[in-house]
Amino acid sequence: MLVVLSLIDMALVGGLLVMVLFSGYENFVSRIDIDSGAEKLAWLGKLDSGSLKQKVAASIVAISSIHLLRVFLNVEKIQDNDKIMWYVLIHLTFVVSAIGMAWVDRMN
């Protein structure tokens, strides 16, 4: 189970990197010119800085959730319950900040 969680975690991080690289290049450097017949990613060219920020925050929350699930699966190896509390608080901080960023973006 932990190996599967690690693979999902790596896939999420890899997808996050690709999304940030491509959309950052499109938003700040130049448009990526792909022929009309060639396959193109559906989100390419549609992400502005606000939606990119929301997708990055959601990916960080997902990665944090997987890490927290990994901690809960190995709870017998953790001697100090304060560590688990800090893991949960850090995860909740990510969740609240992602919701806050989405809310602020909706206000504009």
Give the pLDDT confidence of 18-27 residue by residue, as tens digits. 877 877 777 6
Residue 16 has pLDDT above 70, yes or no: yes
Return the pLDDT at 91: 92
SS3 80: coil
* Section 38-64 average pLDDT: 74
SS3 68: helix
